[in-house]
Structure 1
Amino acid sequence: MKRTIIFVLCVVLFIAALLLFNPYNLYHHIKAEETVSRIFADPNIKETVFADSSEITNIRYLGSNMYRGEISNMIFLMEIKKDGSRTSYEIYEFKQRIESIGY
């Protein structure tokens, strides 16, 4: 009985460690659409970055703070970089840098 409890506890700790230290964070996968939508909620930012006010669709988390999204006829990648209290967003379209926004 004691061995079974220790084994189950070790398996649970291993899975928790795997989910926490994996570059593909499950939490970010679940919150991907909310994160990208929150950033582009301001129409001025969306207009500055994309020169278009279309709706962002099909948002996916790629891993390592990279997101892929689509706007009507354009596919873009967004990388979120955090350095202390500063957060910057780098947005790319077909391997070309569109805009870098820092707060």
Structure 2
Amino acid sequence: MSSTTPSVEEVERDLRQFGERLAFLLAAADIPSDVKDAWVTLVPKMTLEQIDRLSGILERYVKGAVATDVRSFREEIEKLKEKQRTSLAAAAQTALDEMDAVEKQIQG
């Protein structure tokens, strides 16, 4: 297996993608804007290792926030399902009661 050195274009492309990913993670993170601004100011002074660590931390933070949102969404869906079941049961009972009343009127 031969090892090839990446071209300048490949390195630039990879760095651009990495920067876009970091920008996305910073934008998606639920942290105050002044903290985001501070990180944006610090990133150019950081080593690639430090930037990679920051990216990993932000990724876990964003995934955790998304997981919390998903849990909240599921809980809300379950509440709505229960409300629907209750409403359907009440509507069914009302329909049965009305049918009984009609039947009694017919039998007179």
Is the TM value for this pair above 0.5?
no
Structure with the higher helix share, 1 or 2:
2
Larger radius of gyration: 2
Calculate the TM-score normalised by the size of structure 1. 0.29
Calculate the TM-score normalised by the size of structure 2. 0.28
Higher relative contact order (CA 8 A, sep 6+): 2
